[in-house]
Amino acid sequence: MDIQSIAMQIIVNAGDAKSSAFKALKYAKEGEFHKAEKSLKNCKEKILSAHKIQTDMLQKEAGGDNVEVNLLMVHAQDHLMNSILAKDLIEEMVSLYSRLNNNEENSKAETA
């Protein structure tokens, strides 16, 4: 497979991962934590797919193959790094929204 196709696979998977992460954040804000967890699971699967492609390239280069690096591949790596960062931050935010939601429910129960 040529380097452009490989880069595009990374970009597509990383983009899908980032979209799923932000969907999870939206669901968490709305109190839909089951949907948020489902979106985060999808995000992780897409990141894993992109990371596998990246790892395959690294293994080829470590094995002595000359792996071409061009601007599109740099762009793909940037997308992957951003999606990983988004996932990590949004996982924390979903957790915080969940805790806030639980605190609000407990406060309502105490005043009832």
Rg of the Cα trace of the chain? 19
User: What is the model's pLDDT at position 20?
Assistant: 99
User: What is the model's pLDDT at position 54?
Assistant: 95
DSSP 69: -
**Domains, the chain:** 3-111 (1.20.58.80)
User: What is the model's pLDDT at position 105?
Assistant: 78
Tokens 């699967």 belong to residue: 45
Average pLDDT over all residues of the chain: 95
Burial class of residue 81, CB neighbours in 10 A (0-12, 13-18, 19+): exposed
Smallest Cα–Cα separation from 47: which of 95, 86, 6? 86
Q: Which residues are annotated as a binding site for Mg(2+)?
A: 78
Catalytic site includes residue 79: no
Q: Which residues are annotated as a binding site?
A: 78
Alpha helix ranges (H) inside the chain: 3-29, 33-62, 71-111
Q: Name the least confident of 22-26, 91-95, 99-103.
A: 99-103
